[in-house]
Amino acid sequence: MELVGYARVSSTGQSLDVQVDKLNKSQCDKIYQEKRSGVTANRPELKNCLDYVREGDVLIITKLDRLARSTVDLHNILKQLNHKGVGFRVIDQSIDTTSPTGKLLFGILASIAEFETELRKERQMEGIKKAKENGIAFGRKSKLKDKQVEEMQQKRSEGILIKDLMATYKLSKASVYRLLTTEAQT
C-alpha cells in the first residue's frame, strides 16, 4: 500500500508549497504536482497519478477543488479510483473513503451534487419550453430564404449538378442535400 499525493495550482504565479507540506505531513510515498487549470483533460500529472495508483493505495489531496472543478469530474475520478480499489482522502475536508463513515459522507455529498444537477437540468428545460412558447427560435438561422430553396429545388430538377448548386448558393454538400430533401418532404 502506498500513499500517493496530488497537488495542483491554477497558475504559474501560485505556489504548491502549502499543499506539498500537507501531503508530506500525511506521509505520502509519492507526490504528483502540476501548475495547470482545473480542466481535467489538460492535466498530464493527474493522468500519470491515476495511472500509477494500484489496488490498496490511497490518493490524498488537500482540498476537493484541487482534484476536480465539477462534481461530474470528481465523480468520474472517484469511480475510476473505486474500480481500481484505491482509497481517497481529502485532508482539509476530512473525507476518507477508506472508512465506512468517509464512504457515507462522500455518498451523501455525491447524491446532493447529482440532485443539484438534475434541478439545474429541469430549470433549463423549463426555460427552453417557455422561450419556445414565446416564439423564440433556437438553432442557426437558415442561409437561404424559402424562395431561394424553391429555386434551388427547381434547378436540381432541371439537372443542375450538386457541386454547381453548392457554388451558386455557397453551401456545403450536406446543406444542399438537407435543404433539397427537407423541401421535397414538405
Which residues are marked as active site?
Answer: 10
Sign of CA dihedral 156, 160, 166, 172: positive
Dist. CA 3–CA 89, nearest whole Å:
10
Report the C-alpha gap between 92 and 5 in whole angstroms.
Answer: 14
Q: What is residue 61's three-state secondary structure?
A: strand
The CA distance from 89 to 121, in Å, is 30
CA distance 64 to 113: 13
**Cα distance between residue 118 and residue 4, in whole Å:** 33
